[in-house]
Structure formats: structure tokens, C-alpha cells
Amino acid sequence: MTSWLPSAIALLLVLLTSGAAPEPQAANVTGSMTGSITVDLASPGAAIPPTLYGIFFEEINHAGDGGLYAELVRNRGFEDSRLPPACVLDNGFLVPPRTPHFDTGKPNTWRLRWDVTNPYPSWTLETTGGSDARIALSVEHPLHAQTPHSLEINASTVGAGGRVAVLNEGYWGIATTSGAEYRLAFFARHDGTFHGPLTAAIESADGTPLATQTFDGAGFAPNQWRRFEATLRASGTDPKARLALTLGSTGRLWLDMVSLFPAKTFKDRPNGLRPDLAQMIADMKPGFIRAPGGCFAEGITVESRPQWKQTLGPIETRRGTYSPWGYWSTDGFGYHEFLQFAEDIGADALYVVNVGVSCSFRSGTFLPDDQLPALIQDTLDAIEYAVGPPASTWGRVRATAGHPAPFPLKYIEIGNEQQGARYGERVAKFAQAIRAKYPEIKIALSSWIAGIDRRAIDAAAGTIDIVDEHAYKPIHWGVEHFDSFAGYPRPGWDLYIGEFATNAGVGRGNWIAALNDAAYMMSVEKNTDLVKMASYAPLLENVNHRDWPVNMIHFDSSRVFGRATYYVSKLFAEHLPTVALKTDVDLTPAAPAPIAGAVGVGTWNTAAEFTDIRVERDGQVVHQADFTQGARGWSPVTGRGQGSRGVWSAAEGAYRQSQNVVGFSYLGGVSAANATITLRARKISGAEGFLVLAGTADGRRVQWNVAGWSNTQSAIQTNDAIMGGAVRHRVETGRWYDLKLEVRDRTVRGYVDGQLINEATLPRVDTVLAIAGRDDKTGEVVIKAINTAARPASMTINLQNVRHHSTTGRVIVMSSPSPDDENSFEDPKRIVPVERALPGIAPTFTHELPPYSLSILRLGARRQ
């Protein structure tokens, strides 16, 4: 890991590399919690903007190409093996210019693995039945200078009954539905040797034709690009179909911009969007949409930044943008399509422009200051394209593209996750120019990845309307930091949480992640005097290509499901009150359950042995292991779960796990509660050090990971989440270490050779949090409450200062028995909202919040 990565990203990366994932554990709690939620109708707080929640779209995880953008052919323009601008290839890595970083001033050291080995990715040549042909990438006679490559097919023999065909696999399959229509278009030229015909077919994965169209040889012209198009109707369904273009004669033929779209796109837009994904997004009723990034807006080099003017017009004129997430975007979902989508879903558009600096976490290369005026003019042009009159230069281009009316562009964000005074000074220059010409446009500064970067904000002071903070947080953070915004200054700009997610220690985004996201949104919603906008990130994940660990909506070529947090976000947008109301929660018991459950030892991709294991409590020895007599009482974890691959035996007086794998073994009947565990441990081979296991807390495994993360650091963990911080630490193979782990209530301390190296107190995570607001459209009080405990919470709801109320209301509940539960393709509606009527409403009534639940209560109640 490189040292300049900020801690949030660093934490995320180490979590990923340690490969840890939550291990489901039954929560061992009984009885219910009791408490009260008191809402004072006479104490209104801040107004809540109706556009508080929006979405953030970025080309990551194939969110656009191979996702929302409905194009079915991958690498349609044969441009995907190009190196990104300004990069060179060095030993299998893309390397940006080694120029000083914009913020640190030091030459960057970042590089990106380049695993493109095929000159025409996603395309293959098929020759059968005695046919012979070759294909090659060509730059002869480009179709367009922006997309110079084409595919040359040189067929020397077409065998009788055989074929010469080029096949495109799409984005992990071309989803084809029986009866549906598909629009095919491509360009072709030949050198006089090809006589046709050419047959285009959608074929199932086994080669069965599902739809075909033959183009007669007469349509082709020597040495001239010609455009061909057809509508194909599929006779069968296959999510993994392919496109085949078959030559009916020998000769040399060039193909370019081979495109296949479903005839049905979202709102029937040409060059449009996949309806199921677009509808999922529209259903969230986003108040705004931020795009195109994220890191994408910055590029891996400043030369590879997105340039909106190059994303307009016919697709063969769009050069594409290299996504920092490691693949080319066609820019098919370009600036115009983004604005159109915003309009189609009723959202305001927030466009992120490049500040003349590439992604700070990658290269931080930048344009010199003398190029800023051109960049600023480019931004003014972008605004004019969106909202300028049709008579203006760029308004005319928009009108010619079929949209004379202005688009709903409301915000411009200048840069993404940059920091420092130098960045703030650039923002100020952009902002002054934008403000002078478009005073109605709100201007945002992007403030680093976590927290607020004062240096940038101070340098841009007085010119910006909005500061965009990003908040990627580990498990339980949202619950533990429910009041985090209280400590923020109220400085004269609005806060926008442009990217937030609970994304570490939560698998691929389980129910406890969604509950923590709910807690975070609740803290946003009760601080709308400061926080005016928020958007979850990332939005979309093609499950065949995951760039980021936790994403909101998962899909493949034909299916889609929303993770629980999708439904949470949708509910929050649907139940947005007009004004916040003062809300207090009291809860009994006040203290959370202590750490309890079996003591154990384990390894992570490592072979190790343990001896002299002793467990003491209150000064008494409760267990002293003796491995000279076998390993009685020890139970290795078996089956298919986490920690189940170890091979354990008692050998030479020690307890040995002899494979370089993940293995856990527990000591039955010996609890870690308030225990002191001492032992000696020695690494035999493998990647890391040792695990000392100390029961569970809140249904999660408590462990001390000694020299984990590829033997680089040690930390206390609950499942894979680090508690109390990690310290740099490594162990040597073959050396014995004295380990001691103290467990006291919810505090854990780890000592190596007598030195305290890790300490963590596990925060309370089983609790009830609530907020409330007044919905002036319906005259209702809206209470949002989460119960993050494994037991129900019986709550007295007190509505103070109520004059009129209905006796029935309704409640919308999301809950699931385990915090580790997730929606999936197989069970997409496992965790979804369920609504029911709520009888017996009075100014004071009792309501039970189920275990692990979000409840939204809507109660007809007014002050007057």
C-alpha cells in the first residue's frame, strides 16, 4: 500500500486484502428492551429540502457501459486496447507521467496493472468447416479520427458448410428475450475483394441462431465506409447470447462501430438506457443526480479526464474516456444523455467538472495555471449547453440534438476529492466565472475523502455554495456517530454528502450495513440546517466486474436486485417530512451485553502452532491446555464456512494448524467473558501471523489479529472490522511469541511479549435511534426509528403538544432475523419494506420495534 492513501481508502484496501468476511453467529440475547421516543410538535427544527436525497452515478463496476447504458456489444468501436492518454506501458503496468503531484509536489509512484493482451477485447474469430481467415486491428482509413481503430477480417477460404465469423460476447453475455426486438447497426468497408453477403445473427451461447439478418453484397462499396442497420426479433431467450457477423465470401472486410441495442430503452430514448436499471433508479425519486464522478471525473491522468464536448453527437465520433477503474467507457452515456436522464427522472443535474487535476489518489498530474482560462470556458460552455437559449452557441448544439428546452442543470461541482489551498484557489477562479454568467447555478467544492479540508475551503471562501464531503464508513459507525454533525461549524455554505456508505465489515452490503446507512441518513435528516443533499455511493454494480466492495444495486446482463440499503434509501426519499421535530430517545437497559462465548485460536492463510494456552478469570485458572495428551476439548471449525479449512492436530506438545489456510478452533465450555488468555504462538509458514479468538459481541466474532494483512499490522476485530485502530506489526517465521489477551466487559487488550500493542472498547451497537418530522403535505408526524439489537424494543411513543390526532396510522417496516442477511439474485426481496395499519394511536401509545429493524411510522397528528 502506498503511504499517501488516506486512511479511509487505506482501511478499505486492507480489509479487502485480508479477505475477511463476516461469519454469521447467532445472537445470544433474550428479552426485550424498553424505552420511549418523545416527539415535541411544538419544537420544530430546520426545514428539510424536498431534494435532500439524490443519486451519484459514476462509471465504476461497469455501471454505465455493460450496465445502465443499454449498448449490448462490448468494444463496439475496437478501441478498448488503446493505452489511456499520456500513459506508457511498463512491465504490464500503466504508468502516468512521473511529474510532481498537484498537492504533495512529489512525483507520483502510482501505476495500474494493464491486463489487456488481446488487441480486440471481447471479439473472437471463428473459422469452421475448412475455412481460413485472420483478423487484425487496423488504423487504415479510420471511420472517424476520434475512433481510429477498426477490425480487419481477411478471409482466404470459406469452407462449404463452414463459416468465417467474428463473435462478440457482449458484457458477460448479450441478454436476449424471446419476442423482443434489437436494433443492429454497423459500419463496413472492403477493398474490392469481398463480395458478400454478410449475415448478422444473435446466437445463443451454444451457437443456435435466435435472430438473423443478411446484408447483400451489393450494399457494400469498395474503399468506402457504409452504415448498415436492421431490426432483429429474437426467437428465444438467453442471458448469455452473442452477436455473430458471418462472411459469405472470401475477401478483406473492415468493420467498425458494431452496435446492438434493445429496441425498448428507458422512455424509448435512442442511444438509451436499460429500462430495468433506469426504473430502479427512477423509483428512488432522486432529487438530483451527480455525475460523471467520482474519480472518473478526474481521470488517471489529466489528459484522460472526461471532456464533455467529446461525448456529444454520433457514437462513432465519441473517443471514449478511460475510467480510473480500469476499463474504457464508450461515452455512449455522454453529457447529453446524462442531462436527458436527469430530466426523465425528475432530478436536478449536478455536473462534476475537472479542475485541471487528475485523481489525487492516482497520479495528481495537472494542467498548468495558464490553461485554466480554457478549462473554465469549457465549463461555461457546458452550462450553456444545458441551460443556454437555443440561439446561443452551445444551446444551438443542444437544440440540434433534439432538445431546444433547457435541461435541469442546477449545480456544478469543481473537482472531486482534491485537497489543499491550491485546489481551493482553482475552485475560486471557476466559481467567480460561473457566478458572473450564471448566478442561479450553485457551486460545489469537493472536500477530500473523509472530513472537511479546511485549507481548500478557506482558499475558496466566499465563492462556493456547497462543500461535498465523502463518508465511507465501517460497520456500526453510523450508529455510533449518530450526532456527528452536531460538532460541525455552520459556516455559511451548505454541506453535501456526495458519497456515503457503510462499506467495511459488512460483506457485500448486508442488513446491518443498511441499518447503519439508515442511521447515517437519520443524522443527515436531523441536521438539515447544514446538510442539504446526500447521495449513496456507488450506485450500480455489474456483478461480473466489482471495482468497489459494497454497491447499492447489483445486476448482470438480464437481472437486477436492490440491496437492502436500496429499499432503505427509497423509503427515506418517500417519507421525507417538511420540517424536523425535536425527538428524544430513552432506552433500558442502558448497558450493552459484555463479550462472551468460547475462547479459540486461528490462522489466516498461515500455518502456525500454539502452546501453553491458559485461561484465567478473577485470578483463577479456568483452563490450562496440555497438548501432550492430544487436543481434548478443542473443536476445529468444519464445514464450508469461514475458518473451516484448517487441519489441526496436537503435535510435540503444541496445537498445530499445519496448512496455509484460514482455520479456527474453539475451546468448548471455556468462555472469554472477563478472561485473560495467555499462550505462546509460532508461525510455521504462510502469509500472516495468528488469531486469538475471544467469543462474540453483538453476534460477531471477536478476534485479535496478530500480524494480519499480509504480516503488516495487528488489530482487535469484530468479524472483519477493525476496532480501536491497527498498529504496524509483523512476526517472524519460526519464532515463539508470548501472547496475552485480556477481555474485560467490552474492552479487549492484546500484549505481545509483555508489550500492550492493541486495545479496543467495543462501542454500543444494539440500540434504538429515532428522528421525527412534520409532513405539511399530509398533516402527519413521520417517525423514523431503527432497532439495531437482536431483541425487540418496546417503546412508548410520546407525542407532546398535540391538539388533534387520528386514531390510526401506518407503519412501514424493514427487518431481518440476522444482521448478516442480504438480498440476492436468488432472493431479491428477502429484505424489503412491509406496510401495515397502526391502530390505537393516542398522544401516548406503545409500539414494538422488531429486532434488527427500520420502522417508519406515519401518524396523523397536528399541533393545531
Q: How far is the CB of 58 from ligand AHR (least distance, A)?
A: 5
Q: Does 250 engage in binding with ligand AHR (CB under 6 A)?
A: no
Q: Does 299 engage in binding with ligand AHR (CB under 6 A)?
A: no
Q: How far is the CB of 447 from ligand AHR (least distance, A)?
A: 11
Q: Which stretch binds ligand AHR (CB under 6 A): 121-129, 137-145, 241-249, 289-297?
A: 289-297
Q: How far is the CB of 8 from ligand AHR (least distance, A)?
A: 8
Q: How far is the CB of 491 from ligand AHR (least distance, A)?
A: 22
Binding mask 428-457 for ligand AHR (x = CB under 6 A): ---------------------x--------
| Minimum CB distance to ligand AHR smaller for 147 or for 446 | 446
Distance between CA atoms of 656 and 639, rounded to whole angstroms? Answer: 19
| Minimum CB distance to ligand AHR smaller for 172 or for 472 | 472
Burial class (CB in 10 A: 0-12, 13-18, 19+), 251: buried
Ordered alpha helix ranges (H), 19-139:
none
Among 127, 340, 363, 416, binds ligand AHR (CB under 6 A): 416
Q: Which stretch binds ligand AHR (CB under 6 A): 94-102, 125-133, 287-295, 677-685?
A: 287-295
Amino acid at 363: S
Q: How far is the CB of 355 from ligand AHR (least distance, A)?
A: 13
Q: How far is the CB of 415 from ligand AHR (least distance, A)?
A: 10
Q: Does 293 engage in binding with ligand AHR (CB under 6 A)?
A: yes
CB 768 within 8 A of CB 731: no
- Give the CB-side neighbour count of residue 325, counting CA atoms within 13 A: 22
Q: Which residues of 619-649 are buried (b: 16+ CB within 10 A; e: fewer)?
A: eeeebebebeeebeebebbeeeebbebbebe
Among 188, 295, 315, 650, binds ligand AHR (CB under 6 A): 295
Q: Does 517 engage in binding with ligand AHR (CB under 6 A)?
A: no
Q: Which of 676, 505, 707 is nearest to 715 (CA)?
A: 707
Q: Does 364 engage in binding with ligand AHR (CB under 6 A)?
A: no
| Minimum CB distance to ligand AHR smaller for 353 or for 595 | 353
Binding mask 461-480 for ligand AHR (x = CB under 6 A): ---------x----------
Q: Identify the residue whose cell numbers are 442488513.
A: 511
Q: Does 537 engage in binding with ligand AHR (CB under 6 A)?
A: yes
Q: Does 67 engage in binding with ligand AHR (CB under 6 A)?
A: no
| Minimum CB distance to ligand AHR smaller for 416 or for 447 | 416
Q: Which stretch binds ligand AHR (CB under 6 A): 257-265, 288-296, 657-665, 757-765?
A: 288-296
| Minimum CB distance to ligand AHR smaller for 293 or for 663 | 293
Peptide bond into 538 cis (omega under 30): yes
| Minimum CB distance to ligand AHR smaller for 266 or for 548 | 548
Q: How far is the CB of 359 from ligand AHR (least distance, A)?
A: 8
- Give the CB-side neighbour count of residue 863, counting CA atoms within 13 A: 13
Q: How far is the CB of 299 from ligand AHR (least distance, A)?
A: 11
Strands (E), 433-493: 442-447, 466-474
| Minimum CB distance to ligand AHR smaller for 58 or for 556 | 58
Q: How far is the CB of 22 from ligand AHR (least distance, A)?
A: 22
Distance between CA atoms of 13 and 1, rounded to whole angstroms? Answer: 8
Q: Does 417 engage in binding with ligand AHR (CB under 6 A)?
A: yes
Q: Which of 140, 357, 355, 165 is nearest to 254 (CA)?
A: 140
| Minimum CB distance to ligand AHR smaller for 477 or for 655 | 477
User: Count residues contacting ligand AHR (CB under 6 A)?
Assistant: 13
- The CA distances from residue 498 to 69, 70, 250, 807, in Å, are 22, 26, 55, 40
Q: Does 294 engage in binding with ligand AHR (CB under 6 A)?
A: yes
Peptide bond into 589 cis (omega under 30): yes
Strand, helix or coil at 210?
Answer: strand
Distance between CA atoms of 805 and 781, rounded to whole angstroms? Answer: 10
How many beta carbons lie within 10 A of that of residue 549, not counting itself? 19
Distance between CA atoms of 291 and 719, rounded to whole angstroms? Answer: 34
Q: Does 292 engage in binding with ligand AHR (CB under 6 A)?
A: no
Q: How far is the CB of 538 from ligand AHR (least distance, A)?
A: 4
Bridge partners of 731, per DSSP, are none
Q: Which stretch binds ligand AHR (CB under 6 A): 291-299, 427-435, 692-700, 786-794?
A: 291-299
| Minimum CB distance to ligand AHR smaller for 514 or for 802 | 514
Q: How far is the CB of 72 from ligand AHR (least distance, A)?
A: 26
- The CA distances from residue 731 to 290, 709, 723, 750, in Å, are 46, 12, 21, 15
Q: Does 538 engage in binding with ligand AHR (CB under 6 A)?
A: yes
| Minimum CB distance to ligand AHR smaller for 296 or for 482 | 296
Distance between CA atoms of 692 and 681, rounded to whole angstroms? Answer: 10
Distance between CA atoms of 790 and 398, rounded to whole angstroms? Answer: 55
Which three cell numbers, joined as nine digits, stand for 28? 445470544
Distance between CA atoms of 399 and 786, rounded to whole angstroms? Answer: 48
Binding residues for ligand AHR, rule: CB under 6 A, are 58, 60, 293-295, 416-417, 449, 470, 499, 537-538, 548
